[in-house]
Amino acid sequence: MPLDPAELSKDVQHQPITRLGIVGSGTMGAGIAELCAVRGLDVRLMVSRESSLIGAPRRIAESLDRRVAKGKLDNGARDDALARIHVTTDLGELADRHLVVEAAREDGAVKREIFGALDKAVPPETILASTTSSLSIATLARAVSRPERVIGMHFFNPVSTLRLVEIVPALLSDEAICARVEQFATDVLDKTCVRTTDRSGFVVNALLIPYLLAAVRMVEEGVASPEQVDLAMELGCAHPMGPLRLADLIGLDVVAAIAGSLHEEFKQPHYAAPPSLLRLVETGWHGRKSGRGFYVYS
């Protein structure tokens, strides 16, 4: 149950980060929830649809089952993790959280609306983070009354496997809050953190997205097939996954959205999404999650 509001200020400000709120139950939100629950944290997962009250924990359970099958987790740890995740449609249930991570789709208007709602639902000491891939943290922070408590906390998919978290302070972000979140990600979540300035794409996507777009253009221009491009980069550069399979894994809609943000901020042609990528997105072929992208998935 949520704590007494009279006790929230002192509790949230001074206690270790042990109670997490997550807004959004898509790939990233569910992955962050799973990670935090496995690490022993109390997780409240905020969803927007009644159907997700059942669907979100089922997807997390399936992911945990795969980890059990691979020997990375035992059945007891799986059951304990699921018991630590409470799914809700009531934003008010996040009022006793130490940290709330927004993990909605990569849409600035949607994210700003969420931050505005969180500003009214949680006490001033609650840290608010976004796992946006490319959007300005300063712009998101404008939706709240205390922008100093807003930072970027960019996880990577799959959250349980990839070790990096980009910590992104905006100009008004409080340094003590950034340090607290960085220590939490390092010591509790066992992640490696990289600090980056608040610019579109941060470090990883500012470098990765032009590479993926170049591979798309190469296929679009008939230089090579997706299979040939991927094989060339896997065998020629020792990449564990070729760029087009990686784009399918990330989600072609996400790649296009990040490219759009990068192009809007920097106006450089290598950030512009190629027409063939946009056609795939418009068709609903978003990659692995939709069953089809550059490749077909069963």
Q: Do the Cβ atoms of 200 and 268 come closer than 8 Å?
A: no
Phi/psi zone of residue 57: left (φ > 0), alpha (ψ -120 to 50 degrees), beta?
A: alpha
Please classify residue 259 by burial: count the beta carbons closer than 10 Å to its beta carbon, then call 0-12 exposed, 13-18 middle and 19+ buried: buried
Count of beta carbons in the 10 Å neighbourhood of residue 1 = 5
**DSSP class per residue in 90-105:** -GGGGTT-SEEEE---
Q: Do the Cβ atoms of 144 and 116 come closer than 8 Å?
A: yes
Please, which residues bridge with residue 152 across strands?
Answer: 130, 168
Please, which residues bridge with residue 19 across strands?
Answer: 42
Phi/psi zone of residue 24: left (φ > 0), alpha (ψ -120 to 50 degrees), beta?
A: left
Query: Hey, which residues are catalytic here?
Result: 133, 154, 166, 205
